[in-house]
Amino acid sequence: MARIAYVNGSFVSIDDAKVSILDRGFLFADGIYEVTAVLDGKLIDTPRHMARLERSAREIGMRLAETPERIAAIEKDLIERNGLTEGVVYLQATRGAEDRDFLPSPDLAPTLVMFTQAKALIDSIAARSGIAVATVPDIRWGRRDIKSVMLLAQVLAKQEAQRRGAADAWLVTTDGMVTEGASSTAWIVTQDGTLVTRDKSHVTLPGCTGDALADLVGELGLTIDFRPFSVDEALAAKEAFNSAAGSLILPVVSIDGRPIGNGTPGPVTMRLRDLYIEHARR
């Protein structure tokens, strides 16, 4: 089956999916994006993703080409057209295309593109064995709460992590505090069983998967401490994990080559992963 993408009102072969070289997303990274998980052919946490998309657009003063309800309907249609049962839908919205100028025209028609990617989310080798992360200086701009397509810093962080033999990067400020993963929310489980992740601010992106998980942890009798944590505290933790739409809940078993706990996925993390998957399949 040929992959089908959505581009500005039309469903087309992904090989024919094109936007103008004058698109402001290409020229200025003047755009936003969302990644939504798909399990059993169904979108997961759609209301959270659409709310975050609307917020990102509002924060940069950008008009969306379609309403959130219409966008969700297009995503469902795209899933069906591609026969996707498990993976993600990627959405990118930009301010539109016109001759290059830092100041956009006020009536510019926005761009909206979407495509699907098949990906093993449930039967994941990384979830079974856990991943290594490397800490990398956080050099991003000051509005990380906006899901911007300006991702060069994250690309460089992941390249550096790979160079050091790690699967992902945790971004760290000059005072040694972890902000988040390069494309995920970072969590630790302290020795007394408390979950710790950063509170919402301009420093981090509010994670939809993490927010859904936060609503579920009470079912396990766990509590969450929303605060910054340091690399040293993470190294001393019982467990660590990432949350993201593209990987759900993913155990972190080492940081900078040093094991977390006994160096294997911990029971709290794996139970949280199971709990989130149960939620997603309801």
Tokens describing residue 244: 């993201």
What is the Cα–Cα distance from 30 to 23, expressed in whole angstroms?
A: 9
Residue 270's CB is within 10 A of a number of other CB atoms, namely 18
Phi, psi dihedral angles at 275 (to 5 degrees): -65, -40
- The one-character DSSP state at 8 is T
User: Please, which residues have CB within 8 angstroms of residue 192's CB and are 6 or more apart in sequence?
Assistant: none
Nearest CA-CA partner of 203 in 151, 135, 141? 141
Nearest CA-CA partner of 210 in 93, 84, 37? 37
What is the Cα–Cα distance from 239 to 261, expressed in whole angstroms?
A: 6
Place of tokens 């003063």: 61
Q: Report the helix count and the strand count for the chain, using DSSP H and E.
A: 8, 16
Tokens describing residue 216: 């579920």
- The one-character DSSP state at 108 is P
Nearest CA-CA partner of 80 in 194, 154, 4? 4
Nearest CA-CA partner of 166 in 79, 256, 238, 89? 256
Distance of alpha carbon 85 from its chain centroid, rounded? 19
What is the Cα–Cα distance from 112 to 29, expressed in whole angstroms?
A: 14
Residue 147 bears catalytic tag = yes
Among residues 147, 158, 200, 238, the one annotated as catalytic is 147
Which residues form the catalytic set? 147
